[in-house]
Chains A and B, each alone.
Chain A
Amino acid sequence: QSALTQPASVSGSPGQSITISCTGTSSDVGGYNFVSWYQQHPGKAPKLMIYDVTNRPSGVSNRFSGSKSGNTASLTISGLQAEDEADYYCISWTSSSIYVFGSGTQVTVL
């Protein structure tokens, strides 16, 4: 199972919106509404930001939102803030009853 495809890096200025894509296949992203997104700061454990494509856990800023179209899921961060600078990973449940992570995206706040 190959990793889901994410852009290696995305950047934006404070206050701007950015979108991170996560492309898979009909056997994972496209086949299930079980895509979640995690934020990871250096040296820290991942933190859940979005689950089941569009849902935001309590305590996560409403500046984070998720969506999906076909085999591609997306994470949008609006009103970009310095604290959003981190690595972001998507992950999907698959038809093989396993999970596959995305390759990861480094977000830089300019």
Chain B
Amino acid sequence: EVQLVESGGGLVQPGGSLRLSCAASGFTFSNYWMHWVRQVPGKGLVWVSRIKGDGINTNYADSVKGRFTISRDNAKNTVYLQINSLRAEDTAVYYCARGAWLSYYFDSWGQGTLVTVSS
């Protein structure tokens, strides 16, 4: 069974940094693109970033380029999202999701981790 478990969220001051983690199990992690999606409370889903199985190829939404960095450790079956210069508008639930094999959708999701940016 595919499982994705996010962690690392919490309360952070504006301007601070945070690294989110998503631990994967139940599949050959290195074979899959992994994604981060965020959702401001009460608002819609927004795709944030993705990383290829080899960890080399990455893509980002224009709104987060330069402040967010996605990475992965295939030995630990974990994908990360480093968020710098946090702003109030980064307050959201952050989900990791597995990219489908040979297509462009998300076939498994984690339960999400809440990041709150506030002083």
Chain A residues proximal to chain B, CB less than 8 Å: 1, 3, 32, 34, 36, 38, 40, 45-48, 51-52, 57, 89, 91, 93, 97-104
Contacts and interface: CB of A to CB of B under 8 A. Distances in A.
Given A3-B44, A38-B45, 9 more contacts: A1-B62, A32-B104, A34-B104, A45-B112, A93-B104, A98-B59, A98-B60, A99-B35, A100-B47
A45 B103 contact: no
26 contacts: A3-B44, A34-B104, A34-B105, A36-B104, A36-B105, A38-B45, A45-B95, A45-B111, A46-B45, A46-B95, A51-B100, A51-B105, A57-B107, A91-B47, A91-B105, A93-B104, A98-B60, A98-B61, A98-B62, A99-B35, A99-B47, A99-B50, A101-B37, A101-B44, A101-B45, A104-B44
B109 interface: yes
A97 B59 contact: yes
B45 A89 contact: yes
Contacts of A40: 45
Interface of B is mostly: strand
B24 to A, nearest CB: 14
Contacts of A102: 44
A98 B46 CA distance: 11
A98 B106 contact: no
A52 B61 contact: no
B36 to A, nearest CB: 11
Most central of A45, A97, A103 by chain B CB within 10 Å: A45
A44 B45 CA distance: 12
Contact of A34 (B44, B60, B103, B111): B103
